[in-house]
Chains A and B, each alone.
Chain A
Amino acid sequence: MNDSRVEKWLLAGPPMLFMLALFAVPGAIMLVASFRYPGEFGGLAPLNGLAQGFTLETYRFFFSDFIYTEVFIKSVAMATLTTLFCLLLAYPLALVIARSPKRDALVLLVILPFASNFLIRVYAWMILLGPQSALSEMCNAVLRWFGAHPVELLFSPFAVLVAMVYAHLPFMVLPLYANLIRHDRLLLDAAQDLGASAWQRFWRVTFPLSLPGVYSGSALVFIPALGMFVIPEILGGTKDMLIGNLIKEQFLVTRDWPFGATLAIMLTLAVMLIAWLAGKAGGRHA
């Protein structure tokens, strides 16, 4: 082995070991667990030789009841809405920051919320959306004025969506900003010079050139949003279970590990499928 190969292994070795130990191995454990039987008191049933120890039972069970597919669809819908609202809010913000002379300070403000704990910020939403909160009271005052029934903001899909958008917004702003900052101002001058109105300049030049940023921001929001269980757990009602909660439930409450593992594998497959489809769509523009 020559020096440069030693160097490469020294550089790539530790992170590869890290990924192997904390990603590949647990992934493999989950995959194996999904084909096993549940133990009597949780965990996995003891292995009685290869023939009896493995089964497709959990997968059959997953597809036997539409309720699980429904949770998946609901989760995908929630993640899609989260991504969409993040995009709608983040795009103008990223554009303003990228064109501002104070952009460094503004980017700092975007990442500032990370300085406080994620759980604390989610609990803060509980207070903000609670029945006694100014927001709730204002909202219901307006509703009463129109003669409508008052509503509860907390423990609803609305509360989950608001907090999901809030929590994921920086992950949309940053890649969009990183893309928009690289745009050549001269292209906008050229478009204007050639007869493009402000609206046309945006849709014909800025937006198409920002698509790589839109794709990576959407992936960074959609994928974690799909598996998110903390926010629906704290802010969602008991009826609005998402896939993340369902998986957590299998491991910690129902103690059906193989089924939990199956759900996790299905989620992973769903994410990979969506990422692959998005990659195919995005590849045309890259």
Chain B
Amino acid sequence: MALLEIRNVTRRFGGFAALEDVSLSIEAGEFFTLLGPSGCGKTTLLRMIAGFETPDAGSILLDGRDLAGIPPEKRPIHTVFQNYALFPHMTAFDNIAFPLKMANLPKHEIRQRAKQALSDVKLSDKANAYPKDLSGGQQQRVALARGLINRPRLLLLDESLAALDAKLREEMQIELINLQRDLGITFVFVTHAQDEALALSHRIAVLNCGRVEQVDFPSRIYGFPKNRFVAGFVGHISQIEAEVKESTHGHLRLMAKGIEIIAPPARNAVAGDRGVFAIRPEQVRIGHEELADLRNHFFGTVESLLYQGDVSEYKVRLENGAMLEVLLPNTGRGFRVSDVVRIGWRHDAGMYLHE
């Protein structure tokens, strides 16, 4: 049995459906991420799990028990809020001890456990500091320790890393992974940052307009997106409109504005279907020499380039007008805008997406 079962949950605000028939099941010990653009319903879903919102239809079960009617303070579920929501009038120690005090534990046990929790997040020397005197990363760690101290069945994290700068965010990501692994507490993480979702999660649910588009492992979400939305939302991808000319179990032959592309087979694709051919920038090769070993090779013109230090991101226009993104490590000579280049990719790279 799954730890958390979300069954056919629907929530409407006026005429607008924030969540439409959402079903998910989250296993104990999982790092599960709800990923989607703002307004996709992920925060509404999180607030429902916490108990701050009620579904119009459907149910949410924890350990097989329906949570309906149980107020947030009675649920063994804690939340790390986006801006941490630390109590400004309490020290780091008192913030962390808060859930234990609410549970009316004996004083000596509160003291001892809060001290331990402070040292677990490497803040022993900040016990008496108020939140305003802590850095963003320290506040984040206090919020985490506070959420975890009485070992909830589930920890919800609402865009919890969004307020940190890039370097610190990466450090916190690693800390978060270690913490979750060491404690074995189930995390449900909400984010709109796809890179964060890919880096942290065991599984990801991609949400869009109140619906679940795909639930899968990060590598499958990235490598095998189910549809155009997931493909476009997670990572960079080039999409070219294409028509299926021939579908065998070995490959697909696509026609895209006059050029022929050989692509890996796709389920249910039949000749005559119209959709897109999609390919990740790192799967595309670019060069001056012939790329004869590749089944798909074309000429193109460099339209723009973004130098990013380790890699450069090129936008190349193919003969038929389609635009492709290409990622090239900056190890050798690069290309310049309006260079005519050869472009190619393997017959098993990219994918045909029908919807």
Contacts and interface: CB of A to CB of B under 8 A. Distances in A.
Nearest to B99: A194
Contacts of B81: 186, 189-190
Contact of A285 (B71, B78, B89): B89
Contacts of B150: 195
A219 to B, nearest CB: 20
Interface string B65-82: 000000111100111010
B83 A193 contact: no
Contacts of A192: 52, 71-73
A236 B88 CA distance: 45
B89 A193 contact: no
Interface in A190-210: 190-197, 200, 204-205, 208-209
Nearest to A187: B85
Contact of A209 (B79, B85, B89): B89
B42 interface: no
A195 B72 CA distance: 7
B152 to A, nearest CB: 9
Contacts of B50: 193
Contact of A195 (B52, B88, B89, B103): B103
Interface in B94-112: 98-99, 101-103
Contacts, number: 57
B99 A189 contact: no
A5 B75 CA distance: 62
24 contacts: A184-B85, A186-B81, A187-B88, A189-B72, A189-B85, A190-B81, A190-B87, A191-B98, A192-B71, A192-B72, A192-B73, A193-B50, A193-B52, A194-B73, A194-B99, A194-B146, A195-B74, A195-B150, A196-B102, A200-B102, A204-B87, A204-B101, A205-B87, A208-B89
A194 B103 CA distance: 9
B78 A194 contact: yes
6 tightest A-B CB contacts, nearest first:
A190-B85, A195-B102, A194-B99, A186-B85, A193-B79, A192-B72
A184 to B, nearest CB: 7
A155 to B, nearest CB: 45
B89 A194 contact: no
A209 B88 contact: yes
A187 B90 CA distance: 12
Contacts of B98: 191, 194, 196, 204
A209 B74 CA distance: 24
Nearest to A196: B102
B97 to A, nearest CB: 10
Contacts of A209: 88-89
A208 B94 CA distance: 13
Contacts of B73: 192-197
Contacts of B83: 186
Among A190, A196, A204, max chain B CB count under 10 A is at A190
Given A193-B73, A205-B87, 18 more contacts: A187-B85, A189-B52, A192-B71, A192-B72, A193-B50, A193-B51, A193-B72, A193-B77, A193-B78, A194-B102, A194-B146, A195-B73, A195-B74, A196-B73, A196-B98, A204-B98, A204-B101, A208-B89
Nearest to B83: A186
B103 A190 contact: no
A285 B90 CA distance: 10
A184 B88 CA distance: 10
Nearest to A197: B73
A187 B84 CA distance: 9
Contacts of B51: 193
A204 B88 CA distance: 12
Contacts of B74: 195
Contacts of A285: 89
Question: Of A186, A191, A194, A197, which is in contact with the most chain B CB atoms at under 10 Å from its CB?
Answer: A194
Nearest to A184: B85
Contacts of A195: 73-74, 99, 102-103, 150
Nearest to B85: A190
A285 B89 CA distance: 8
Contacts of B71: 192
A205 B86 CA distance: 11
A191 B147 CA distance: 11
Contacts of A194: 73, 78, 98-99, 102, 146-147
A60 to B, nearest CB: 48
A191 to B, nearest CB: 7
A193 B49 CA distance: 11
Interface string A163-194: 00000000000000000000010110111111
B102 to A, nearest CB: 4
A188 to B, nearest CB: 9
A256 B85 CA distance: 61
Name the residue in A186, A195, A205, A208 with the highest tally of chain B Cβ atoms < 10 Å from its Cβ.
A195
Nearest to A209: B89
A200 B74 CA distance: 13
Contacts of B78: 193-194
A209 B147 CA distance: 21
Given A195-B102, A195-B103, A197-B73, A190 B79 contact: yes
Contacts of B89: 208-209, 285
Interface in B3-59: 50-52
Contacts of A196: 73, 98, 102
A205 B81 CA distance: 16
A204 B97 CA distance: 12
A188 B81 CA distance: 12
Nearest to A190: B85
